[in-house]
Amino acid sequence: MSTGFYPGCSLTGSSREYSESLLAVARELGLAIPEVPDWNCCGATAAHNIDPELALTLPARILAHAEQAGMKEVLVPCAACYSRLQTTRHHLRADPDLLARISGRLQMEFHCEIDVINILQWLEREVIPLLAAKKLSSLGYQAACYYGCLLVRPPRILGFDRPEDPRIMDRIVAAIGLRPIEWAFKTECCGAGFSISRTDIVARLSGKILEDAQSRGAELVVVACPMCHTNLDMRRGAIERQAGKKYRLPVLYITQAVGLALGISPRKLGLNRHFVPVSLRAPAGEN
């Protein structure tokens, strides 16, 4: 199986620790994930909100380049990119005329036979089976698995886990020795792309997520999306000002959590880049 890696723009800038930790885990386990050659931005929310043509052509170019490079599937760690690539793939595969028209615009031969997978699917399929042979650091924390919107919705297109109460991340964090909590905000919206244009809304929505997680005993939040991370971590100041209280919860990418369990150093996992300090006590028996 040849799996390509589509980082997306956030992972080269404001969320680079997501990419660093993913690549560190892949390296540690000897998994090859070459980048999709000459990839471009997926167009994100901006394209599908105001320009439907770009919302198809930009993701299609990414898929076409991956297919041309002989990749059978693309791993897309950003939940927003994942949603855009999956939606485009869905429409192009359902409509041969549309596929022909879009391929024409790209001036590329493109059959859209390539698959798209998210980080949780990749971790469960490729990484978890390899952990049995590894000595894992026992993390032992109570973790709130926060999926957000775009990993699970809309299920008609993504066909992945339960849309209201997904379980896959809970299984992954349990496999690396964290204790997933039951909570109510697994798939509530964090405010996503309003981080800059409507910070007030992000502060309120993200605040509710932290409030529920903390009140149910979570010691950290685990995410699989750069927007969720940005809003819960980088916007923590705005959240706390609006809520009038402090939240102590650090927010980890799922790849950072897996990396810590594998004993990879916090710096290699980019934990030093967070706004909310990740000061995890030494694992039991390793003082």
Partner 1 sequence: MKFLSDLASLQAQVDCRRCYQCGKCSAGCPLAVDMDLTPSLVMRLLQRREAGLDLKILRSQTIWLCLNCETCLVRCPMEIDIPVMMDAFRQESLRRRTVHPRAKKILAFHRAFLDSIRYTGRLYEIGMIADYKLRSGSLMQDLVLAPLMFIRGKLRLFPERIRGRSTVRRLFKHREDE
List contacts with partner 1 (CB under 8 A).
9-10, 12-16, 38-41, 43-54, 57-58, 61, 65, 105-107, 149-150, 153-156, 163-164, 187-189, 191-194, 196-199, 201, 205, 234, 272-275
Which residue's CB is nearer to partner 1, number 31 or number 54?
54
Q: How far is the CB of 107 from partner 1 (least distance, A)?
A: 7
Which residue's CB is nearer to partner 1, number 181 or number 275?
275
**Residue 76 φ then ψ, to 5°:** -120, 100
Q: How far is the CB of 283 from partner 1 (least distance, A)?
A: 25
Q: How far is the CB of 264 from partner 1 (least distance, A)?
A: 18
Secondary structure (3-state) at 287: coil
Q: How far is the CB of 32 from partner 1 (least distance, A)?
A: 22
Which residue's CB is nearer to partner 1, number 135 or number 156?
156
The conformation of residue 160, written as its DSSP 8-state character, comes to: -
Contact status, residue 78 vs residue 8, Cβ threshold 8 Å: yes
Which residue's CB is nearer to partner 1, number 139 or number 213?
213
Q: Which two tokens stand for residue 156?
A: 């008609």
Contact status, residue 143 vs residue 178, Cβ threshold 8 Å: yes
Nearest-5° Cα angle at 28, 160 to 258: 45
Q: How far is the CB of 261 from partner 1 (least distance, A)?
A: 24
Residues 6+ apart with CB under 8 A from 58: 40, 41, 42, 43, 47, 84
Q: Which two tokens stand for residue 243?
A: 């809520």
Which residue's CB is nearer to partner 1, number 57 or number 214?
57
Q: How far is the CB of 238 from partner 1 (least distance, A)?
A: 9
Nearest to 219 by CA among 149, 275, 139, 128: 139
Which residue's CB is nearer to partner 1, number 51 or number 113?
51
Report the distance separating Cα 204 and Cα 207, nearest Å.
5
